[in-house]
Amino acid sequence: MYDFLIAPFVEFGFMQRALAGSLLLSLGACPVGVFLMLRRMSLTGDAMAHAILPGAAAGFLLFGLQIVPMTIGGLVAGAIVAIGAGAISRFTVQREDASMAAFYLISLALGVLIVSLRGSSVDLMHVLFGTVLALSNDALTLIALISAITLVVLAIFWRAVVAECLDPLFLRSVSRLGPPVHFIFLGLVVLNLVGGFQALGTLLSVGLMILPAAAARFWTARVGPMCAIAVVIGIASCVAGLLMSYHAALPSGPAIILSAGAIYLLSTIFGTRGIFNTRVRHHRHRTA
């Protein structure tokens, strides 16, 4: 048992860095995923994950696989897409989901094209799927900073973020925080996707944000506990995925996301609000 569960994280530095980066990502990204889900913006998160690709690719084109230029590029590209999609939805007849989908398709194609101009297929795979087993100390520092910023901002604006999720019209009627909180939240989404990009790439970073949140929804209806459960599920997924990657020689990023997917499927069946318990309660209600 020790050799299977603990020894890989004790004996190898790259596994320790991968575990630390994954845990830090779970702390910041999973609560943000809960609010994305409650806002019915889960697919928006996926679109935003691809929106950072052109900026990160531009950083790669100019400076190679260096963290700071790719991070700055990703932040700038994500901010442009978030503001652009929001502006189009506010000043035209097109809804935000449609404008986000348009930006998503353009960003994905542009990012792949930029990477292909200079890099090889290996570089493209690195950008799209990440290399969690090759996280450097600089990447860990960046991920830790993003997680800390996320937790602090959520703590400060918790009530406003929850109110904006559940009843945005009420928040706008009693406070002027509605629009600012919306863009602050989108900023947190972009930040965490940029952090996840370092470990899981642009295609998979949103998975650690959404799947644990979706699974947590089957265990509780309260926002606070839902965020805590999502973090626990995210951590468990990361540990399980890294162990699968180590012992079975699987790609680490997909292994982590598939672990989260397995927990999601189990939650849909056995969660307190899942299929099994819902049918049991329904049966008891009919026979009562």
At 231-271, the pLDDT tens digits run: 999 999 999 999 999 999 888 888 999 999 999 999 999 98
Least confident residue range of 123-127, 134-138, 178-182, 280-284: 123-127
Mean pLDDT, residues 104-126:
74
Q: What's the whole-model pTM score?
A: 0.86
pLDDT at 181 over 70: yes
Mean pLDDT, residues 66-83:
82
Q: Considering its fold, how many domains does the chain have in total? A: 1
CA 35 – CA 214 distance, rounded (Å): 10
pLDDT at 288 over 80: no
* 80 three-state secondary structure: helix
Alpha helices in 119-219 (DSSP H): 121-129, 137-156, 158-166, 168-174, 178-216
- Cα-only R_g, the chain: 20
End-to-end CA distance of the chain: 47
Q: What is the pLDDT of residue 121?
A: 62
pLDDT at 97 over 70: no
Q: How far is CA 270 from CA 2, 49, 72, 258, 265, in A?
A: 29, 30, 42, 18, 9
Provide the Cα torsion 155, 158, 160, 161; round to 10°. 110
pLDDT at 216 over 90: yes
Domain carrying residue 38 = 2-287
If you average pLDDT over each of 100-104, 160-164, 208-212, which comes out highest?
A: 208-212
CA 211 – CA 29 distance, rounded (Å): 11
With vertex at residue 234, the alpha carbon angle to CA 232 and CA 235, rounded to the nearest 5 degrees, is 65
Q: What is the pLDDT of residue 217?
A: 93
Q: What is the pLDDT of residue 120?
A: 63
CA 244 – CA 79 distance, rounded (Å): 35
CA 19 – CA 113 distance, rounded (Å): 32
Query: What CATH number is associated with residue 219?
Result: 1.10.3470.10
pLDDT at 128 over 80: no
Candidates 235, 226, 238; CA nearest to 273 is: 226
Q: What is the pLDDT of residue 122?
A: 60
- Predicted confidence (pLDDT) per residue in 13-65, tens digit: 889 999 999 999 999 999 999 998 888 777 777 777 777 888 888 887 787 76
Q: What is the pLDDT of residue 183?
A: 81
CA 131 – CA 273 distance, rounded (Å): 35
Cα 105 vs. chain centroid, distance in angstroms?
19
- Round the average pLDDT of the chain to a whole number and report it: 83
Cβ–Cβ under 8 Å, residues 205 and 53:
no
CA 85 – CA 215 distance, rounded (Å): 28
pLDDT at 149 over 90: yes
